[in-house]
Structure 1
């Protein structure tokens, strides 16, 4: 029986990761497969094949992969594209001896407490924190870490369940809220949700993410993304702009590369979130062993005319693309900003107003009758708008959030909610 190979992408069919397929096609001539629990009923028909398997469950994946191996189809590599598939892809790659990340990397990249220990052991500045399960452990941790403090699930993402507490009472309420978010969404993303992290708060709104292509022995920064967060006490990401005003900063780049090395990430794109304190000190908040989400990669592609998923998939396949990254130069600025209606019941959605010339794409997910809540995490948005400018900003601009707010105010007619 002839041996046929394919590349299996996990998480490529996720919202705002659709262009991963194009990047994979640029990286390889092999067929590109994806996975879905029910491939027969999936609406995604763009991949060469849809494997019927849970992309977040390595046992499910291995069963389906081995069934197709009997028909002559074998994966060359399994490539994770989001947080929820890093562990499953790593387990499958190890089981089939395909390569991939080291055994400890997936743990360090998904368990935020293990991540913090690895960063500190490597001398990378990161906020101190403690792992808790009970309310009493929470209060003890708050005493040790100090207030204000950030409370968050240790293995979730998308700002889900992340809350700022300035008092002990707020800390208790924050833990309850974090547990509520995990109870609501945890099973969908295979989140354990049994522990929570109490973390030192870096009092700053100056936050970036650094997109790094990792290699064995050396890594290369692709770009820096300016991040815009929702009002406290939550940390929902409301906009991302590429290239950020700190792009090209060698100190920032060096810190991001050291953070990736501390976790042992030696292939693929990594997403390093960094905050700057009032005194200018840079703190690594989190490191993800996958491309940035929320449409950041699409903004990179617009700004640099380079599909970053090509880099990610190619790196997993063993291609040395670090020089391609080093030579990438932005020619414009691109941003994605999330639409947020005022809190209340949405009575009408007006989607035929003239749009500013900077708008390249807009998507409205809210409908009449929907309840708009405060911006707590990814689940409380009403859509997004993608924007583009022909200039490169030398200082942080607030245009993405200003323009998104103006559009949202014009689009969404919101009424009060009856008690």
Structure 2
């Protein structure tokens, strides 16, 4: 029986990886911190690990110490593959896999898959179409770099190493840039593990067009793109994600443009064995710009959407690659699926969510914050209170049903 080492199962991709490993008859060892397991793991996740996994504790805030500990563990256990269920640990996974002689990404370029400052440099060096980007340690430097680079407002401001649209702002003048800079630099440790983050703040050229996501799969350096899918974000100064539809309704030429760019981006940052999640925009002139890439599975239950719509299980693919097995990438279904997140109108205490009603396309609806729970003001992905998953024959039908569902929902906050 092969053994798989999973660094951090927290988050919705962790369960998908656990289930995939079980279906592949692999023994799984989950590594987390004791406090994180106690406070952040759901009862369902804890039960799955207890049923068909093994639990080990480590301190990920000390990457060198964790690397030494995990190499000893992997060699003692005879581990056959290493994966990350949390994107902040993807560089550690690349280094660990390389030291163990197991399938993984290029460890010398692994930070470019996580750190947007280093990523932008790699994109420039390899001629990847991406927004012009500068990175500053303080506001004065930011103003100087913006002007020297010839950037004009609006610009996008974001932390170098955060996730979930946290701290991302679109700003229109110097004053807004100052405010956004403070927010983007306000958290330099990633919780709950306390991992130190790059304090640089990214300022990027604002790119119009329509945003999409696409997954790529790499096996021994050969990179294969999957299909693009819709990514829906809020407008205005804050750009939180509120949904996805798999696949996107695009013509063959548009799909080819997005796929070609995603493959080039994956190669530029050293994706050689594993999966990559790429966010990019299609411009009105038919060209594209890569926004960012992560050496990880997609979040937001996109793994489930892809499986439902196309019969492709990316979590299974990820585990197979890590274990040195050959993944199957051929779709076995030809339908569409989507997810829409429920977001409160403001922060406060959630009183009720009403109006979900009945819709033939709704496959699942779930509340993630109970009545009486505290909710954040809208602005990033942490403000969500629930979600709805939809399934239909076409993306157009999914999007129409999703619009109907969201129009009827009322979220009351006091």
2-structure distance, mates of 1:338, 1:406: 14
Question: Residues 299 and 8 (structure 1 numbering): CA distance in 2 closer, same or farther, change over 3 Å?
Answer: same
Alpha-carbon deviation of 1:370?
4.4
Retained in 2: the 8 A contact 1:237–1:377?
yes
Q: Establish whether residue 400 from structure 1 lines up as the match of residue 402 from structure 2.
A: yes
- Verify: 1:83 aligned to 2:87, yes or no: yes
State the secondary structure of the residue aligned to 1:46: helix
Is the CA contact 1:133–1:196 (under 8 Å) kept in the aligned structure 2?
yes
Tell me if 1:338 matches 2:341: yes
Instruction: State which of 86, 95, 112 in structure 1 corresponds to 2:99.
Output: 95
Choose the corresponding residue for 2:162, options 133, 137, 156. 156
C-alpha contact (below 8 Å) 2:104/2:274 kept by paired residues: no
**Partners in 2 of 1:46 and 1:258 — Cα distance?**
37
CA drift at 1:376: 1.5
Instruction: Choose the corresponding residue for 1:135, options 139, 143, 167.
Output: 139
CA contact (8 A) 2:9 2:15 kept: yes
Runs (5+) with no aligned partner, structure 1: none
Matched residue, 1:300 = 306
- List aligned pairs for 1:250-269, cutoff 5 A: 250-269=256-275
Instruction: For residues 188-221 of structure 1, give each alpha carbon's deviation from its aligned partner in whole angstroms, at most 9, with x where no partner exists.
Output: 46241411111111023x1001111112342222
2 CA distance for matches of 1:121 and 1:53? 36
Match of residue 202, structure 1, among 180, 192, 207: 207
Query: Partner residue of 1:317?
Result: 323
Q: Which residue is equivalent to 1:37? A: 33
Deviation readout 1:102-155 (Å, 9 max, x if unpaired): 122311101112211211222210001111011101111232322111111111
Matches within 5 A, 1:106-145: 106-143=110-147, 144=149, 145=151
Equivalents in 2 of 1:291, 1:183: separation in Å? 24
CA distance in 1, matches of 2:80, 2:386: 36
**8 Å Cα contact 2:103/2:321 also seen in 1:** no
User: Paired residue for 1:177?
Assistant: 183
CA-to-aligned-CA distance 1:297-356 (integer Å, 9 cap, x gap): 1111111223211111111222233xx31x215422111111012125345224696432
Measure, in 2, the Cα distance between the counterparts of 1:119 and 1:213. Answer: 19
- Cα distance in 2 for partners of 1:387, 1:57 equals 41
**TM-score in terms of structure 2 length:** 0.88
Q: Distance in 2 between matches of 1:371 and 1:30?
A: 39
Distance 2:60 2:227 in 1: 29
Distance in 2 of aligned mates of 1:189 and 1:294: 23
Which residue in 2 is equivalent to 1:240? 244
State the Cα distance separating 1:98 from its structure 2 match. Answer: 2.9
Distance 1:207 1:189, change over 3 A: farther
Tell me the CA shift for residue 56 of structure 1: 6.6
Q: State the secondary structure of the residue aligned to 1:303.
A: helix
> Deviation at 1:227?
0.3
User: Which whole-Å CA distance do the structure 2 matches of 1:307 and 1:386 have between them?
Assistant: 17
The structural deviation recorded for 1:184 is 7.9
TM-score, normalising length from structure 1? Answer: 0.87
User: For residue 14 of structure 1, what is the aligned residue in structure 2?
Assistant: 11
Aligned residue pairs, count: 400
Distance (Å, rounded) in 1 between the aligned partners of 2:314 and 2:115: 25
Select the residue among 212, 229, 254 that pairs with 2:233: 229
Counterpart secondary structure, 2:164: coil
Structure 2 unaligned residues grouped into runs of 5+: none
For 1:217 and 1:185, the matched residues in 2 are separated by 31
